[in-house]
Amino acid sequence: MSPLRHVVGTSGALILLGASTPWLGGCQPAASPAKEAPDHVGDSVMTTQDSPADSPLPDDTSRADSVPHDSASSGPPQVVLFIGDGMGIESVAGAGDFANGTAGTLGLEALPYRGDLRTASLSGITDSAASGTVMATGTKTYNGHLGLDRDLNTVENLVEVAKSLGMGTGMVTTDRLSGATPASFVVHTEDRYSYADVSAGYYAALPDVSLGGGTDDFAGLVDTAAVDVVETATDLAAWTPAGRPLLGIFSPSTFPYVYDTYTTQPTLAEMTVKAIDALKENPNGFFLMVEGARIDHAEHANDATRVFPETVAFDEAITAGLGELSPDATVLVTADHECGGLHIVTNNGVGVTPAVDWRYNWHTNADVGIWGRGPLADTFDGQRLDNAWVHAVLQAAIQQTAVVAPTEVPLVDGYLADLPAAAVTQSWDSSFGTDYDRMDALHVGSDADGLRIGVDGVWEDDASAIFVYVDIDYGDGTGWPHDGALTDTVGFGDAALSNAKLTFADQTFGAERALISMQAEEAFRGLTGTDNAGLRDITAGSDFGWLESATNFDSGNESLFNAPAPDAGVADEGFEAQIPWASLYGTDTPGVERRLAVVAVLVNDTGTYVSNQALPPFPSATEAGAGSAELPGEVAFTVDADGALVGDPVTVP
């Protein structure tokens, strides 16, 4: 087969390998009928001129047509995805400090190709279920969903693709096997936390090799006459293939932390080697996913003492696995998301935990790294791509075809190119510091899912606040400030809203909703927000209601840990929000044509001091300061009964 090349487009030829005798008896479905392979698959390259208008190239992803991929595998495809759950860029750097005294020294960092991934889900900030699902299926979904699209339809995963070709399949994790990441490659269910349903679905679609935790989840499910079950490291080392799936469950739930030492559990490296050695016996090749799960768990706890040993153990599993694979295996190493907003302050040397700072105890929208080697892995080299590309590359490697570019969907990710052009732009440099806090332009969009708002700019993580006021019945002369003062002092964000002494030049503008982000904090769809972020119903004045929304920042548009935002001045990146129609009108759609208006303003984190940054802009560059500030106008627009924009937004006056 000729070398594979990168194709940018919406379709591509597929090669289905011929049917063969199922391996490890019983767990493989009948192989799909063979299809005739086209001649010279992948030799032609669709250029950007050929790309359909509705499938634009992702941000920063243009590639020279003359750059070929590594040659396709000379034997059956070996395809391995390593996922460090929660493993952000700083997790990798700190693990290098901890293990070797220097960042940049992990084994995974020696892989020849290196890029970055955006990770947002349909909920905004992703969870492991949604991120696992998009890597397994290529389909963006809401948090909590496993193997389902936004409408709860089943979508084919890579394990199913590999099985259909008679290939071996495997899952290895230090989480329970019913955990979100391994389950997203095997299971189709709405709720990742319904462990009984997830475990039953996992067992019904059992891969050839499954190694991890979760004894309690699989109690009563396993037929030991049909499945080889091992429960200790000693048993795993002694196991040899006997024509049945291997199910290794080594702890009641998750594995212990590496820092706390294992008892009878095998290491992640030992499980990885065993899985590869078993799967290599399949003459049609294999697909394997390996997860270092407890990196994320330690980050949720802001526990640096345990984060770095977990990351080092994950890296050791990668090194051990590479030693068992063919030289032309496709190997990708990445994370499903960053967790905790980890920042390395001081390298304290080999074996000593680096000094760190944390922002949160949950996931962030920060880009994660991707490293790789082998056929098609160079797709990511030097690129910044959405994580849907992981599935695109892995599926192509499994099927030995050209890569098909994933279809982009609108996301609340701070990447604003999928919103309409800016309705209004800023007139002044920021008085709060150009590279730390500023609002450059305001975008307004809407669709069946709700109102979408984007603000180009950058924000400081420990100082500023964004307030976006929304008039949901513009022109009626109701809402704040017509209906009285805001006096809710319970909660950081609510108190800041009440402290902001703002008036409006247009006396018809009255806000019923206020969208807030304090200190560059995000809210994700599915919750009503936090004290620091989300949507407020301000109609009561003295006791704000919390309503569902999603808010997010593009990675690079936050000024973190007293450093300027790296993407200051980059157009179409910044703050983004989606407000479901139910949070505005109590119904799934506007129902009738509606007139709305929005105003955005940047204040300090207590609301007591107003910058010179507002959209529409203030009439002069002088900051409003600590007194009352008059906002000079608003962006008004109309939506139809289904939520689509009617005409273009306009600035009033």
CA 32 to chain centre: 32
Exactly one of 128, 178, 464, 611 is catalytic; name it.
128
At 350, which amino acid appears? V
Q: In terms of residues, how long is the chain?
A: 653
The backbone torsions φ and ψ at residue 468, rounded to the nearest 5 degrees and listed phi first, read: -120, 115
Q: How far is CA 321 from CA 230, 275, 317, 324, 589, in A?
A: 21, 9, 6, 5, 51
Q: How far is CA 650 from CA 155, 422, 534, 582, in A?
A: 41, 10, 25, 24
CA-CA-CA-CA torsion sign (501, 506, 512, 517): negative
Which residues touch 223 (CB under 8 Å, ≥6 apart)?
A: none
Which single residue is written with the structure tokens 């105890």? 361
Which single residue is written with the structure tokens 């000379």? 74
Evaluate the omega torsion of the peptide bond into residue 283 and state whether it is cis, within 30 degrees of 0: no
For residue 111, give the nearest of 291, 368, 329, 371 by alpha carbon: 371
| Pairwise CA distance, residues 606 & 615, whole Å | 20
User: Active-site residue 121, yes or no?
Assistant: no
User: Which regions of 398-437 does DSSP assign to beta strands (E)?
Assistant: 424-425
Task: Provide the H-helix boundaries in 431-556.
Answer: 492-499
Residues 136, 140, 142, 147, Cα dihedral to 10°: -30
Q: Please give the DSSP secondary-structure letter assigned to residue 554.
A: -
Bridging pattern class, strands 438-447 and 558-559 = unpaired
| Pairwise CA distance, residues 584 & 588, whole Å | 10
For residue 515, give the nearest of 475, 547, 477 by alpha carbon: 547
Catalytic sites, residue numbers: 128
